[in-house]
Amino acid sequence: MKEFKADVGEIVASPFNKVLFDPPSTLYASAPYNQDSIRFWKLDPQMTVSQFFSYIKEECNKSRSYDYRIEFKGKFLFKPEDTKLEEMEVADEDIVVLEAKDHGKGWNFTGEGAPTVEKCEYCNKYEVLPFQCACKKV
């Protein structure tokens, strides 16, 4: 899994990635990604890709900032780095979403089992915070 995440990081950060995808990707990263800035989610099988994108667009439009916190409709795929890709409990028909974050920023997707990365109000850095408020507003 560690090698796969590293390979995906190189593809995401490549200025040539627009020609690797069909249709061409609009994604371009200005900084290299590593395995700590990439994570995977398995989309709820009851949701189509079109429904997922509509849901994401709707959630983004509700936000008053670009610091999105979107509840992912599916399952966070966390496994130890030495887990083999074949052991990730992903079937051929499953849709896996790659989430990449910029250095010094938080994750956009939230969900059960996913570490919470938030901005510290004291030092203004994004880190995994050891405490989370039950109301999810603090």
Q: Which pLDDT score is estimated for 28?
A: 46
Residues 6+ apart with CB under 8 A from 6: 34, 35
| Cα–Cα distance, 19 to 40 (Å, whole number) | 23
Under DSSP, is residue 126 helix (H, G, I), strand (E, B) or coil?
Answer: strand
Q: pLDDT tens digit string along 7-55? A: 766 666 665 555 544 554 444 444 556 667 788 899 999 999 999 999 9
| Cα–Cα distance, 126 to 31 (Å, whole number) | 17
Beta-strand relationship, 38-43 and 126-128:
unpaired
Are 94 and 41 within 8 A, CB to CB?
no
Are 99 and 40 within 8 A, CB to CB?
yes
Q: pLDDT tens digit string along 72-120? A: 999 998 766 677 777 777 888 999 898 888 777 788 898 888 877 777 7
Are 87 and 5 within 8 A, CB to CB?
no
Under DSSP, is residue 63 helix (H, G, I), strand (E, B) or coil?
Answer: coil
